[in-house]
Structure 1
Amino acid sequence: MLLLQLTSCTEPSDKPKASYQQVDEIADAANISADASISVISNIKSGIQVWDLQSNTQKFAWNNQEDAINTVTNIHIAADNSYVVTSSRETFTLWNLLEGEPEGYWRIDEASIRDVAVSSLGRGILVGRSNGKVMFFEPNTTRRLEFLGHQEKVNSVDISPNGFYALTGSNDYVAYLWDTRSGQVIHKFEHSSRVTKVSLDDQGRYAFTADSKRDAKIWDLTTGQEVSNLQYLARQRIFTTASFSPDGKYLLTGSPAKRMNLWDVTTGKELKEWYVSPRENSQPPTAVVYSVAFINNQQILSASSSGLVEKWDVK
C-alpha cells in the first residue's frame, strides 16, 4: 500500500530527489519499464538508448539500419522487460532487450503509425494507424489480425502482458477493449470527444481512457463499468502517459506541459502534483512527460522530452 498523507490538489513539488541526463538533446520519445528498472529513450542525433536505472548506466545504443536518420516517435517496453518495440511513422522494430539485438523490422505503407505496444515475451505487437485500423501481429508465427472497429484515426494503444487483450482509442470518440485472438469487442468505452490516451492496468483490473476535452475515466475491466472520472478544474487536460500502481489504488499521469499527477483510482481525486524539469535555457521552459512509473511505495519516476529521467518522493 502506498503510504500517502496528502490532501487534494496540493501544491506542486518542484524538486526531484534525483535527476539523470540520458540524452543531451531534446528527446523525441521515451518509456520506463513497469518495474522502473529500465528506460529506453530516443532522439534524432543519439539514436535509441537503453539505460539501467538501478545503476544509471547505458546498456545498449541502437539505430535502425534501414532508416537514414532516427525518427522514432513511439517506444513501448514489454511488461516482463524482455522486448521493446519502437516505431517511426512508417516503420516499427522489435528489439530483444536481453541480448540488445533487433529481431524484426517492418514497414507499413498503407497509413502512418500513431502508436505501438508489445506483450511479454514479444508474443504480439499492436500497431495503431491513422486510417483507423489496428494491427495485431505475432512475429514468431507471422499471424496478423486487423481490428476494424474504429471509424477514424487511432491515437493510442495498449496491450495486456499476455498479449490476449488490446485497448485502443480513436478520434471516433470511442475506446475498445478487444480480444486479439478473435478481434471480438469485450467492452466499448464511449466519450464525448476524441480519445487521446488509453492505458491498461498490467494486473487486469482497470483501464484508463482520456479524451480531448473534459473526461478522463477509469473503468472496471471485469464489468466494463465506470469506476471514476478524474476530478480537475481545467476545462481541458491532455494526458501523454498513465500508469497504475501495483496495488491498484493509484493512477500516475503525465502531460505535455511538465505536469505529473497522482490520482485516487476509486474517487478520481487528485492527490499530488509535480512539475518535471525543462531543458536548461529552453524557451518556453516546458517539457512533455513521456512516461511515468512507480518505483516502490515511496518513490516514482518520470521521463520527459528534456532528456531527463527524474526520481520523485511520494510524501
Structure 2
Amino acid sequence: MRGFYLLCLLSATLLGCTVAEKVPLSRNVHSEEGALAADISDDGTLAIISGLNNGIKIWDLATNTERFNWAMQGDDPNVVGLVRLSFDKQYAVTADMESFALWSLQSGEPEGLWRIDEASIRDIAVSNNGRAVLVGRANGKVMFFEPRTGRRLEFLGHTEKVNSLDLSPNGRYALSGGNDYTVYLWDTQTGQVIHAFNHSSRVTKVALDPRGRYAFTADSRKGARIWNVQTGEEISELRYIERQKIFSDAVFSPDGQYLLTGSPTRRVSLWRVEDGTLLKEWEVKPKDGPAPQSAVVYAVGFMDNQRIISESSSGLAEVWSLED
C-alpha cells in the first residue's frame, strides 16, 4: 500500500493520479434488482434504465420521478441491453440482440419495432426527433435507418465486429469503431468516410461531442484519444497509470473543456480535453449482496457546473460534486 501512494505522489504531475470519492451528494434507487443498461440526457435531466426485472423506465432526474415504464418484449423477461436517448430528449431507442424499438418521450408510446436477422446488434444511437436510428452489428455492418421514410443505408467500412457507435444530433454524421482497430467518422447521406482514426487494438468505445467539436475513441489496451472532428487531428491522449482501461460511457461537457467517462470497475473519471489529464474520480456503490462487490457505470452526465450524475448496474443513480 505504501508503494502505491508513493507511485501516486511521483506520478501526480504527469498522470493526474487521484483518490476516488465514494460519498455522493445523493443516491436513489432506479432499479431494485439492478440494471442491464442506462443512458443520461446531455443536460443531465433525464435517464433511461433497462432493469433486470422491471422493464425499461424513464426517470426525471430533477425530481427523481418515474415518467414511463415500458416492456419491449411484452410479458417476457427483459433482455434489453442497449438504450439511448436523443439529444433533444424527444425520443429513445432500445434494443436486444435481435430487434430495436423507437419510443416517443412525449406520448410514451412506441413508434415501431424492427427485427435484425442478419447479425446480432452491438450498439445503437438515435438522432433528434427520432428521424434516424444507427445500428451497429456483429458482422461489421452499420445500418443508418430513417423510420418514417424507410430510407436505409449500410456502411461497409468495417471488416470485423462493430463494438461502439454514435450519431450527431441532426443525424448527418456517424462515428463507429470495431475489432478491426479502426474508427470511422462518416457521412450518413453518402456513406463516405470523412476521417479514419487508427488504434493498435480493437476499439471498445467511441463518442461524438454533440456540438460538433470532438470525437473520443478508446481501444482495449492503452489508447484513449480525443480528436478534432473538423481537422481529424489528435488533440490529446488520456493519461493514466493502468496498462489497460476500458470505458463504458463517455460524454463531453457543454463548454468543451472536459470529458466525463464511466468504466466497468465502478469508476467515474473527469479528464481535461486539451491535454488528457485526469482531474478527479468517483467510485459508485456496488449492488448489495455477496462478494465480489462491483458495478458497471453504464451512463454519466453533467447536471450543471457543480454536479455530475451516474447510473450503474447496481440500479442506482448517484449525484456527485465537481467541487474539491
TM-score, normalisation: structure 1: 0.97
Matched, 1:129 2:166: no
Which of these residues, 264, 270, 275, is aligned with residue 262 of structure 1?
270
Q: How far apart are 1:66 and its partner, in Å?
A: 5.6
Show the 5 A alignment for 1:160-171. Answer: 160-171=168-179
User: Measured at CA, do residues 133 and 67 of structure 1 come closer, stay the same or move farther in structure 2, by a change above 3 Å?
Assistant: farther
- Structure 1 counterpart of 2:111: 103
SS of the residue corresponding to residue 28 of structure 1 reads strand
SS in 2 for 1:121: helix
Matches within 5 A, 1:178-193: 178-193=186-201
Q: Provide the residue aligned with 2:4 in structure 1.
A: none
The Cα of 1:21 is off from its aligned counterpart by 0.2
Contact 1:9 1:273 in 2 (8 A): no
Opposite residue 167 of structure 1, the aligned amino acid is L
Q: Specify every segment of 5 or more residues in structure 1 that has no aligned partner in the other structure, as ranges.
A: 1-5
**Are 1:68 and 2:68 matched, yes or no?**
no
Residue ranges of structure 2 left out of the alignment (5+ in a row)? 1-11
Is 1:313 aligned to 2:297, yes or no? no
Alpha-carbon offset, residue 9 of structure 1: 2.1
Q: Which whole-Å deviations, capped at 9, do the CAs of 1:240-268 have from their partners, x for residues lacking one? A: 00000000000000000101100000000
- Secondary structure at the aligned position of 2:79 is classed as coil
Q: Which amino acid aligns with 2:196?
A: K
Q: Distance in 1 between matches of 2:259 and 2:314?
A: 23
**Per-residue Cα deviation, 1:84-112 (whole angstroms, up to 9, x for no partner):** 00000000000001110000100001000
Tell me the amino acid that sits aligned with residue 237 of structure 1: K
Deviation string 1:254-304 (CA, Å, 9 cap, x unpaired) is 000101100000000100011011112242111000000001111000000
Describe the shift of the 1:44–1:200 C-alpha distance in structure 2 as closer, same or farther (beyond 3 A).
same
Cα distance in 2 for partners of 1:268, 1:182 equals 33
1:240 aligns with 2:248: yes
Cα deviation, residue 67, structure 1: 7.2
Please tell me whether the aligned partners of residues 134 and 143 of structure 2 are also in contact (alpha carbons under 8 angstroms).
Answer: yes
C-alpha RMSD over aligned residues = 1.2
SS in 2 for 1:204: coil
Distance 1:188 1:113 in 2: 23
Q: CA deviation at 1:181?
A: 0.5
Percent identity between the aligned chains? 58
Give the secondary-structure state (helix, strand or coil) at the position aligned to 2:106. Answer: coil
Equivalent in 9, 18, 34 of residue 26 of structure 1: 34
Equivalent runs, 1:258-297 vs 2, <5 Å: 258-297=266-305
Distance 1:250 1:219 in 2: 13
Given candidates 135, 138, 152, the residue that maps to 2:146 is 138
Work out whether 1:9 is the aligned partner of 2:13: no
Q: Supply the AA of the counterpart residue of 2:45.
A: S
Q: Distance in 1 between matches of 2:73 and 2:97?
A: 16
Is the contact between residue 181 and residue 202 of structure 2 (CA under 8 Å) also seen in structure 1? yes
Return the letter of the residue paired with 1:253: T
Match of 2:219 in 1: 211
Letter in 2 for 1:261: S
